[in-house]
């Protein structure tokens, strides 16, 4: 894709001056558009997956600090502290 865009940019004036290349340019444009749409969809899916993973990791982290296990551990620590003080 990069190579085709480089060649088009480099030889733009010669390509524009020849009417016979208009069909090839239209085909190239359609092909490039399809490829770009595929790449954009792939990036969109990847971003959605990363956001999902980020949310699930944050949920797990918050559960670890604020979930029932954390409350039980805090209660056990308070009990141990109380037992030591008595």
Task: Name the token pair of 13.
Answer: 């004036």
Q: State which residues form the domain around 45.
A: 2-85
> pLDDT tens, 8-40?
889 888 888 888 888 888 888 899 899 989 998
Within 8 A by CB and 6+ apart from 1, the residues are: 32, 35
61-65: which pairs have CB atoms within 8 A and are 24 or more residues apart? none
> pLDDT tens, 27-78?
888 998 999 899 988 888 888 888 899 988 888 877 666 666 667 777 777 7
pTM for the full model?
Answer: 0.48
Query: CA 62, CA 69: separation in Å to the nearest integer?
Result: 11
Q: At what angle do helices 22-66 and 2-10 cross, to 10 degrees?
A: 140
Please tell me the total count of domains within the chain: 1
């Amino acid at each position: 894709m990069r190579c085709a865009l480089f060649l088009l940019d480099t030889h733009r004036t010669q390509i524009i001056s020849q009417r016979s290349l208009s069909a090839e340019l239209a085909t190239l444009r359609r092909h490039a558009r399809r490829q770009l749409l595929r790449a954009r969809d792939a990036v969109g899916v990847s971003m959605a997956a990363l956001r999902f993973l980020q949310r699930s990791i944050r949920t797990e982290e918050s559960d670890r600090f604020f979930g029932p296990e954390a409350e039980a551990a805090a209660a056990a620590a308070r009990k141990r502290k109380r037992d030591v003080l008595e």
